[in-house]
């Protein structure tokens, strides 16, 4: 039997969920269920809030401004959030949207923009980012919705870096050309993946990264990758070697 029911519609709700307690939706999700999906009384939907797990619910009534659902049973318990941070230099909208969606699918537990010396986009729309993250979680069955943190300057990020968290950053000059070999030699535990801007890290930034107590440079091969492609490649490598792919 499949682990997830991909035929059922999933909906994120920012409210507590429990069996036997009706869920009243706000205007936007109510509009989506009633006007976009054209759901009828008795139709089912899977609800999650990133805290209580996933629940099967059935449309019980209400209005177009506030649909009411009966919460019938819990279908999956709430998992712990992955202890993998994804840090990146901001990109323009379309590519940023794609990158955020893939970071959710790849199991990032925290997502944070980092402003580096060569970052081309200096302002980010956090509300848009969080909406993209939530939508990606709805579509791919993720229950532990990643935290989206405010943008931070590179120097401030490193100044407050916790000594126990491994920093993994992509560097074409990494001493070990094989990224899998490099990652397999790293200790498991709290980790972060940092993707720099398309202009690369400055020499000062690279030197600052290498002064961290736990740091690993990873090569992504002989080809030049765009930042959004590099994000998917790096997260896949980390999950396959240090992350939860082998635990599924």
Question: How far lies 28's CA from each of 23, 125, 130, 144, in Å?
Answer: 14, 20, 15, 22
Give yes or no for residue 5 having a pLDDT over 80: no
What pLDDT, in 10s, does the model give residues 118-171?
888 778 899 999 999 999 999 999 999 999 999 999 999 999 999 999 999 988
pLDDT, residue 1, reads: 40
- Tell whether pTM > 0.85: yes
Cβ atoms of residues 238 and 109 within 8 Å:
no
What confidence category does residue 172 fall into, taking pLDDT thresholds of 50, 70 and 90?
confident
Cβ atoms of residues 19 and 60 within 8 Å:
no
Q: What is the mean pLDDT of residues 206-226?
A: 92
What confidence category does residue 56 fall into, taking pLDDT thresholds of 50, 70 and 90?
very high
Residues 6+ apart with CB under 8 A from 144: 50, 78, 79, 80, 81, 82, 109
pLDDT, residue 247, reads: 60
What pLDDT, in 10s, does the model give residues 183-201?
998 988 999 999 998 888 9
Give which of 2, 21, 170, 187 is closest to 88, Cα–Cα.
170
Burial of 168 (0-12, 13-18, 19+ CB in 10 A): buried
Mean per-residue pLDDT of the chain: 91
Give yes or no for residue 237 having a pLDDT over 90: yes
pLDDT above 90: percentage of residues in the chain: 68
> How many Cβ atoms from other residues are within 10 Å of residue 65's Cβ?
12
**What would the two tokens of residue 164 be?**
């126990």
H or E element: which one contains 31?
helix 27-31
Give yes or no for residue 18 having a pLDDT over 50: yes
pLDDT, residue 200, reads: 87
What confidence category does residue 227 fall into, taking pLDDT thresholds of 50, 70 and 90?
confident
**What would the two tokens of residue 75 be?**
């279908």
Give yes or no for residue 6 having a pLDDT over 60: yes
Q: What is the mean pLDDT of residues 198-222?
A: 92
Cβ atoms of residues 171 and 206 within 8 Å:
yes
Distance CA 65, CA 238 (A): 44
Torsion of CA 129, 135, 137, 141, to 10 degrees: -170
- Domains within the chain, CATH numbers bracketed: 10-76 (2.40.240.20), 84-247 (3.40.1280.10)
Cβ atoms of residues 58 and 44 within 8 Å:
yes
Q: What is the mean pLDDT of residues 80-106?
A: 92
Give yes or no for residue 76 having a pLDDT over 50: yes
Q: What is the mean pLDDT of residues 35-54?
A: 93
Distance CA 50, CA 147 (A): 10
Give yes or no for residue 248 having a pLDDT over 60: no
pLDDT above 70: percentage of residues in the chain: 96
């Amino acid at each position: 039997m499949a682990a997830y029911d991909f035929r059922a519609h999933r909906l994120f709700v920012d409210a507590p969920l429990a069996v036997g307690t009706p869920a009243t939706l706000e205007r936007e999700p109510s509009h989506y269920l009633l006007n976009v999906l054209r759901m009828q009384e008795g139709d089912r939907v899977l609800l999650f809030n990133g805290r209580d797990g996933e629940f099967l619910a059935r449309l019980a009534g209400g209005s177009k401004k506030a649909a009411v659902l009966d919460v019938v049973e819990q279908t999956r318990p709430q998992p712990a959030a992955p202890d993998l941070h994804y840090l990146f230099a901001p990109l323009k909208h379309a590519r940023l949207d794609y990158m955020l969606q893939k970071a959710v699918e790849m199991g990032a537990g925290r997502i944070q923009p980092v402003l580096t010396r060569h970052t081309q986009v200096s302002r980010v729309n956090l509300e848009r980012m969080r909406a993209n993250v939530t939508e990606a979680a709805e579509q791919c069955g993720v229950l532990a919705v990643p935290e989206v943190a405010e943008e931070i300057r590179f120097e401030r990020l490193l100044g407050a870096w916790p000594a126990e968290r491994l920093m993994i950053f992509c560097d074409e000059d990494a001493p070990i050309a094989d990224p899998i070999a490099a990652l397999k030699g790293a200790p498991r535990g709290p980790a972060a993946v940092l993707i720099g801007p398309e202009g690369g890290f400055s020499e000062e930034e690279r030197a600052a990264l290498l002064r961290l107590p736990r740091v690993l440079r990873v090569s992504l091969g002989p080809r030049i990758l765009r930042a959004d492609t590099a994000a998917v490649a790096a997260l896949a490598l980390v999950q396959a070697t240090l992350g939860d792919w082998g635990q599924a």
